[in-house]
Every structure is written in structure tokens, then in C-alpha cells.
Structure 1
Amino acid sequence: MSDDLPAEADRADGAPHPRETAHLFGQGDAEAAFLEAVAQDRLHHAWLLTGPKGVGKATLAWRLARFLLAEAPADAGFFGDAPPTPTSLDIPRDHPVARRIAALSEPGLLLIRRAWDSDRKKLKSQITVDEVRKLNEFFGLTATDGGRRIVIVDAADELNPSAANALLKVLEEPPKRAVLILVSHQPARLLPTIRSRCRTLRLGEVGPEDMARALSQAGVTPEDGLALSELAQGSVGEAIRLLSQDGPGLYATIVRLISGGPRMDRQALRAFAENVTVRGAEERQDLAVRLLNLALVRLARTGAGRPPLAEAAPGEIEAWRRLAPDAGRAQVWATLQQELSSRIAHGRAVNIDAQSLLTDAFLRIDEAARD
């Protein structure tokens, strides 16, 4: 994206926008449940799409929107006859509705997301009530074709209290032919009354084969797709972020350092800590912390009898089996993972030097390997 254009709050770095994504992989059950509701004329007025971040919730939201706007309602057939029962959410790219949605010019669709703060030149941290109030004007306009009105809220977790209450009022008294689609990464953060007024579709983690297909669609071809899938934990969005920051390379370095315990290579540790904590590389630093946490989780699970199904770095499983040969050692690593996670989070919150924090974490890991 050009630096001259405002960022889109609902777009992952390095990935196409979900509205530009034609196909959704690995979420056939969720799509089938929606199509069944349509076929049985039980289309709910509000749908809550939940699941881990990056598994395709936003892509599904846009697929639902295209489908609902392009397909005739069940009561719209000629002479009272119903249109054929749909079997797929796919809408051709050259369909007028698909083209208008891609250009954000479809009059029957309203997107609610975090707005761009033109004064601060960054995205707002929350969805404000002003964004939700756009619903009043949107629903106040009469659809020229008598068709549906679709609203996508991405992500509903980001609604501030006033915005959440304003949305709740719409959910309580939805306009005729309105369908609201809420994307939520953490549904527990939503008002219980919002959740109760929606039908939930939960999306699961994406398997390695579907992950490869989804990455190919996004124009990404990783060198080791299986390792990337392990690191991304079934999230296509996370896989794309990992690749943009050389996540597989960072994880391989973390594994080498930990596997060196109890005689960790201090020079290699110093070089790694310096590399990921340079000024202006906050995203890389965040990624390094997440991957360190993941490595310790995988190490602890190995000792508990649940080793990784596949290696995310060369020599990983062998190293974890050596460092965590039994349940007792698994508990040591699990406890250390929790302690280091809290320690690093607190240290960053009070602006302790990032390089010192990371170095100290690895030294504590090295010490634990001696015990």
C-alpha cells in the first residue's frame, strides 16, 4: 500500500484485503451451515463469525456479503416461485455486485471498522460511535431494488462501549431485509446481549494443505510450508505476517539457542538480541517474543507426551526431547514459560531495555537447562 493512502484496519500487512480474496479454504463446515440456513429460509438477521485470528473470518464475511447481495431472496422468484437452492457462496468476479464490492461502491453494503485519524496520521484504536451511527443513514435509504442491506463489522471486539450499545439497539430491532455480519477474534469481550442476538459460526484452524492453497491464492509460496503451518498455528493471516518478518528464520535461531543449553552460545545470543531489538523494528521484536513463547510451549508439551506433529525448525523435536524427557521437566518449562511471558510483558510496559529483557530471558532458559 502506498504511504500516501490511509491504512485499512481490516487488512493484514502483506496480504490482499479480504474483499479481494475469491476463495476460502478449510472452512467448509461454516459455509455449509450458512447455506443450509438460506435453503431452509432461516436466514438470521445477525451472524457472529468467531475463531482464531487469521483463519478466514473476514474473508467469509465478504463472501457472505457478495452472496446475499448477488443472490435473489427466497421470496423474490417470478410469479411467487422460489429461486433454485444455492449450493455455493461463490460469485463470479465479473458479477456487477462483486465488482462494486471490490471497489467499495456497493450501495447495499456498509463496512464498519476503525477509522483513519487524519490529524494523527494513524488508525484509531477503537471503533467509535460515530462509525456505528452511519447505520441510521444507511438503513434510512430505501433500496432501489427492494433487496437486502448488508453490514460488516470488522472487528466487533474493537467497538468502544458507546459504539457497542449503539450496535445493540440495531440488533434488537433490525430493519427488514437487513443482515449484520460481525467478525470477532475474542467474542468473550463482546456484550453478552450482542452475542445472544447473533447466530454464531465458529471457524477452526486451517490445515497444512488448505494453508498452502490459501497462501498460493495470496501470491505467497513459502520454502517450507509445513514448518510455516506449525508456526502459524492454523492461521493464514499469521503465516503471511511471519513470512513478511522472516518468522521461520527467527524461530530457527531461537531453537538453536535454546538447544545449546545448558551451554548456550553467548555470542550468538548477543547477536540475536541486538538484531531483533534495533530501533524502529518493534514488529520484529514483538514477533521474536511470540516465537520464544511458542518455542517454550512446544518444549513443555513434548515433555508432557505431546510433541509437535512436525518440526518448525531443523532439529527441533530432537532438542525438545533431550531438554524435556519427562513430565517433571515439562512442568519446569511450562512454569518458566509463564514466568518469562509475564516478566517480558511487564518489562516492556515500564520501558525496560528490550535487549536486556530478551537476553535475560534466554539466560534463565539456559539456567533451567542445567537443573
Structure 2
Amino acid sequence: MSEGHPEPDRIEGAPHPRQTAQLIGQSKAEAAFLAAFNGKHLHHGWLVTGPRGVGKATLAWKIARFLLATPDDDGGMFAAPAPQSLDIPDSHPVAHRLAALTESRLFLLRRPYDEKAARLKQDITVDEVRKMKSFFALSAADGGRRVAIIDSIDEMNVSAANALLKLLEEPPARVTILMISHQPAKLLPTIRSRCRELRLGALSPQDLSNALTQAGGEVAASEATALAELAGGSVGEAFRMTNLDGLQHYEALISLFATLPRLDRPRALNFAEKSAGKGAEAQFDLSVTLLDLFLARLARAGTLQLLPPEAARGEADLISRLSPSPHHAREWADAAQHLGLRARKARAVNLDPAALLMDMLLHINETSARLA
């Protein structure tokens, strides 16, 4: 990708995963790969799965550094001991080349930039997979390993996925393909069956705080739990929340919903207009996300009869009042599904964002009044 073009596998404002110094909170996945390597069971295809923003790409780049920097064990009596971690020093030549995207034994497959349209393409195309196959057809300069990172396989169109499948069915020798997937259930079953899976989990509040600090964000200790709740343990989502004052936005939303089932309409209108003003697309998306998240928390709490950790002051009392039983939970789950569908349709026809948000708030009020 030419210099100056946006990188599709990078969160705006954060370092690229290849430049992230440390993988936080995913020691089990690291240990699983290392065990396979040391046990001589290195599969050719690895699916790195889990929620968005929990370190999947960072792990893939860490594995790539490890594989390309670790010499082969020739089985001789003077062979180096088995590695105890995937860590490679920053000073290592491979680490320098990967950071600069100049490593000749690595192929990075991601959405390409469309020069004519001056934007990133929506999908990874079959032409990009063919380039990867051509790369593997060339002999490695040192006869050693080669690695490909696909970020993400979810963005492949059908033709690209079928081309990748053929490659996985007849993999080249000494090649490791690391495929990042946020939604592995949507992949072709035949692709999944030909790969080993490394599953990454959501980050704890402390790990999330540490990862966010590493990425250049900041979070107060008192806000770590709330941010982890709203971000679902995803540092990528936490980064977005932090940049857009998501915690303060959710506080305002909970304060507004404290007036249910007699919604304070002037405040609701003010909330909708502030969230959907000109040039506020990111804020609008955040507002829709937070509304959906609040409804999901209502439904989960009523179903499990268990309150989640508070993500805003007064949230626990509000959830207790609005969703005290599984019956209430089902109603809130139905409301979430209904509003999600309406939001997608409204976006498709370019409905006024403020009107859409106000409509969602009024529907939540109606549901609350019916259940009161």
C-alpha cells in the first residue's frame, strides 16, 4: 500500500498492530501456539478469532516475527533449546523489517486501495489472493519459512474465499497463513475445517486499561470498569469510546432514561440533536451503539436476575426498575431487535439522524410505559 494511503487494518489514532510493543491479556493463545511450535505440530493455517479489538492482529504480527526470526531446529546436539516465549527483541533485524513492511518473507493481505476511486475497496478481491499465491510460488531466498497475514478474512468476497480455500487444500511447504476473523461462524465451513483456531477473549478492566495506555489513550482508574463494560473488553472499542467521550455520553443517556416512563422530551430532543449534528457521523454511530448496548444490558440483567457492574452512576437502580424479571427481559430484547432493524432501514434511505434517534428514544419510552 502506497505511502499516504489509509491502512484498513489500523484503528485511527492508534499504532498499527505491527508496531504494538506488547500483547496484553492473551497469554493462553500465545502459549497454545508456542506449544504447537515446540511440539512440531505447526499447522499451515491458523484462524485467530475473537471479538474486535482484543489483540488478534497484534498476536498475528507477534507470531510472524517469531516464525521469521527463530532459526530451525536441525535436531543436532548443538541445537538451540526450545523457545520459551514468542517474544523477539525490538532490535532484531526481522522486527525492524516487519515494522517497515520490508520483510521479503511476509505477505500482508488486506483490502486494497482503489487509486481511481481514491478510497479503500470494500472487499478483499480474488486478485489479491492470486498475488499471494504467486508470492508463495517463488522460492524463499534462504529456503526458510514464509508467513502470510490476512486481516481480515471476513472481508473476502466469495471468489477470494474460494481461491483461498484451494490454497489451504494444497498448502505450499514451509508456509504459515495467519487469518484474522472477527466472525468465524460466517466463514466457509471448509475453510474453518482446514485451520487451527486461536481464540482470544475479552480483556479484563485492568488489561484493557493497560492496552489502551499502550495505544496512546488514557483512562482513569475509576473509569476502567465502566469502560470495559461499554467496550466489551475490546481495546479498539475502548479507543473509540475514549476519543468520543463515550463514558460521558452514556452517563447522559442513563440520566435521561431515569425519567422513564415519562421521558423528558426536551432533554431527549437535545440529546438527539447533539448526537446527530452536521459532521457528527461518528457521534451518531456511538449513540446508536450505546442505545443498543443499554437495551442488551436490560435484557441480560432481567434474564439472569443479576445486575452487571455499573457503567454509569444510577445505572444499577435504573436496570432494576426497568427489567426486574425474565418477562421484562424478553420485551427489552424484542425492542432491541426491532430498533436495530429500523436503524438499518433508516440509514439505507438516509433518514434524518436526529429524527431516527428521537424515534428510538420514544419507542423505548413506550416500551417502558407498557411494562410499568
The TM tier, using the shorter chain, reads over 0.9
Q: Which residue of 1 aligns with 2:234?
A: 235
**CA distance in structure 2 between the partners assigned to 1:135 and 1:82 by the alignment:** 32
Q: Which residue of 2 aligns with 1:214?
A: 211
Report if aligned partners of 1:301, 1:330 keep a CA contact under 8 Å in 2.
yes
SS of corresponding position for 1:49: strand
Q: Call closer, same or farther: CA 1:73–1:306 in 2, change over 3 Å.
A: farther
**CA distance in structure 1 between the partners assigned to 2:19 and 2:319 by the alignment:** 41
Deviation at 1:219, TM superposition (A): 2.0
Deviations 1:219-265 (A, max 9, x none): 22213111111100111111111112221122112111112112222
More off after superposition, 115-124 vs 300-309? 300-309
Deviations 1:96-118 (A, max 9, x none): 00000000000110100001112
SS of corresponding position for 1:120: coil
**CA distance in structure 1 between the partners assigned to 2:361 and 2:29 by the alignment:** 42
Q: How does 1:62-81 map to 2 (within 5 A)?
A: 62-75=61-74, 79=76, 81=78
Deviation at 1:137, TM superposition (A): 3.1
Q: How does 1:107-118 map to 2 (within 5 A)?
A: 107-118=104-115
Q: How does 1:127-142 map to 2 (within 5 A)?
A: 127-142=124-139
Report if aligned partners of 2:305, 2:324 keep a CA contact under 8 Å in 1.
no
Q: Which residue of 1 aligns with 2:251?
A: 252
**CA distance in structure 2 between the partners assigned to 1:49 and 1:269 by the alignment:** 42
**CA distance in structure 1 between the partners assigned to 2:245 and 2:190 by the alignment:** 41
**CA distance in structure 1 between the partners assigned to 2:367 and 2:8 by the alignment:** 41
Report if aligned partners of 2:307, 2:319 keep a CA contact under 8 Å in 1.
no
Report if aligned partners of 2:303, 2:326 keep a CA contact under 8 Å in 1.
yes
Q: How does 1:1-371 map to 2 (within 5 A)?
A: 5-75=4-74, 79=76, 81-223=78-220, 224-371=223-370
Deviation at 1:80, TM superposition (A): 6.4
Report if aligned partners of 1:109, 1:149 keep a CA contact under 8 Å in 2.
yes
Deviations 1:37-85 (A, max 9, x none): 011111111101111111111111000000000111233x6x5654311
Deviation at 1:330, TM superposition (A): 2.3
More off after superposition, 237-246 vs 109-118? 237-246
**CA distance in structure 1 between the partners assigned to 2:58 and 2:254 by the alignment:** 33
- Unpaired runs of 5+ residues, structure 2, are none
Deviation at 1:194, TM superposition (A): 1.3
Deviations 1:294-347 (A, max 9, x none): 001112222234444321111111111122223332222222222212222222
Deviation at 1:177, TM superposition (A): 0.9
Report if aligned partners of 2:297, 2:308 keep a CA contact under 8 Å in 1.
no
TM-score, normalised via structure 2 length: 0.94
SS of corresponding position for 1:304: helix
Deviations 1:158-189 (A, max 9, x none): 11122112212221111111111000111122
Deviations 1:142-167 (A, max 9, x none): 22222210000000011112211221
Report if aligned partners of 1:259, 1:320 keep a CA contact under 8 Å in 2.
no
Deviation at 1:126, TM superposition (A): 0.2
Deviations 1:258-304 (A, max 9, x none): 12112222121111111111233222211111110100111222223
Give the letter for the 1:119 counterpart.
K
Deviations 1:2-47 (A, max 9, x none): xx82110111122211001121111111111100001111111110
Report if aligned partners of 1:298, 1:307 keep a CA contact under 8 Å in 2.
no
Deviation at 1:370, TM superposition (A): 2.2
Report if aligned partners of 1:307, 1:317 keep a CA contact under 8 Å in 2.
no
SS of corresponding position for 2:124: coil
**CA distance in structure 1 between the partners assigned to 2:128 and 2:79 by the alignment:** 36
TM-score, normalised via structure 1 length: 0.94
**CA distance in structure 2 between the partners assigned to 1:174 and 1:254 by the alignment:** 52
**CA distance in structure 2 between the partners assigned to 1:110 and 1:186 by the alignment:** 22
Q: Call closer, same or farther: CA 1:150–1:292 in 2, change over 3 Å.
A: same
Deviation at 1:355, TM superposition (A): 1.4
Report if aligned partners of 2:307, 2:320 keep a CA contact under 8 Å in 1.
no
**CA distance in structure 1 between the partners assigned to 2:63 and 2:308 by the alignment:** 34
